[in-house]
Structure 1
Amino acid sequence: MEQIPITKQGYAALKKEFERLKTIERPENIKAIEVARAHGDLSENAEYHAAKERQSFLEGRIGEIGYKLGTAKIIDPETVPKDCVRFACRVLVENLDSGEKIEYMLVGADEADIKKGKISVSSPLGSALIGKKPGDEAIVQAPGGKRIYEIIDIL
């Protein structure tokens, strides 16, 4: 079985969402279905159909998160070697076109949040950075054209 790398914080956030879906949102949805059923004719009951669609989404998300939690490999960013860019490390890069220096942390897709400086290892930039060392260049094909980043430091 393939293990999915995740940080401790990412695991905790997924676990929290999993518990919320199971203990709060699922029971609320069940009540919504019961209330909508009480309104009669189900074939023309928009509330009932919306609640059933929500139920389908919730069950799918619960299953997805349950799988991810079950196959998670928790990585502590503090223990990650800093010899090259890898999952859970923080890296300082310079966009060679603009001269802008940016710090990113490489995380899994569920944890990615560009506003917090967290990019997915499977994103174009994240995958271009993996395995690089300070002084190396990473070339990323972006929608606006090719971008070149230099790895300044692994933090």
Structure 2
Amino acid sequence: MSITERTIQLTAEGKERLEKELHQLRTTKREEIAERIQQAKHGGDISESGEYEDAKQEQAMLEKKIYELENTLSRAQVITQTNGNTQACVGCTVKIIDEDGEEEVYMLVSSAEANITENKISTESPLGAAIVGKKKGDEVSYNARVGVVKVKIVSID
């Protein structure tokens, strides 16, 4: 199975967020860029218009983002149940403690939903990959920028 065919597991909240973003890009953002292109065309010679080129480049980036979101959503599988929260999996919230006694709480999500400012980490990240499939009380190690880090799983919800 190629990467473009692979199922992407999303939480219901994550799927809804991506659908809203896609809708906003298809409507409001497309209209804004189309208006910028029209204004640049009315501004004179478009062959020398930096504004026109900027708007066309922004349009191309927008269309790429729309394609990526459509592709992600077409392969999305909403996680409706966990494994009884005995093992860490997509959709689970995991509390860990590091060697210094610092506690952190993360929700395990797919890379499409990952957002570190919301403490949502991808199961493909070093920490996320180390935690997936583990149980409460397990100790895991993963490679971080600072070197190998050890953590213990305190709880899984």
SS at match of 2:77: strand
Aligned residues: 152
- What is the rounded CA distance, in whole Å, between the counterparts of 1:3 and 1:126 in structure 2? 18
| Residue equivalent to 2:132 | 130
**Alignment gaps of 5+ in structure 1:** none
1:51-79 per-residue CA deviation (whole Å, 9 max, x = no partner) reads 00110011101111011111100113xx2
- Aligned match for 2:31, one of 24, 27, 31: 27
- Aligned match for 1:36, one of 35, 40, 43: 40
1:112 pairs with 2:82: no
Cα displacement (A) at 1:110: 2.5
- Aligned match for 2:151, one of 140, 144, 149: 149
| Residue equivalent to 1:54 | 58
| Residue equivalent to 1:71 | 75
On the 8 A contact 2:72/2:112 being kept in 1, the answer is no
- Aligned match for 1:3, one of 3, 7, 15: 7
Cα displacement (A) at 1:115: 2.5
SS at match of 2:134: coil
Q: What one-letter code is carried by the residue in structure 2 that aligns with 1:55?
A: Q
Cα displacement (A) at 1:43: 2.3
- Aligned match for 1:15, one of 11, 16, 19: 19
Q: What one-letter code is carried by the residue in structure 2 that aligns with 1:102?
A: E
- What is the rounded CA distance, in whole Å, between the counterparts of 1:41 and 1:23 in structure 2? 28
Q: What one-letter code is carried by the residue in structure 1 that aligns with 2:98?
A: N
SS at match of 1:15: helix
TM-score, normalised via structure 1 length: 0.93
SS at match of 2:105: strand
- What is the rounded CA distance, in whole Å, between the counterparts of 2:137 and 2:65 in structure 1? 41
1:92 pairs with 2:73: no
CA-atom RMSD in angstroms: 1.1
Cα displacement (A) at 1:126: 0.3
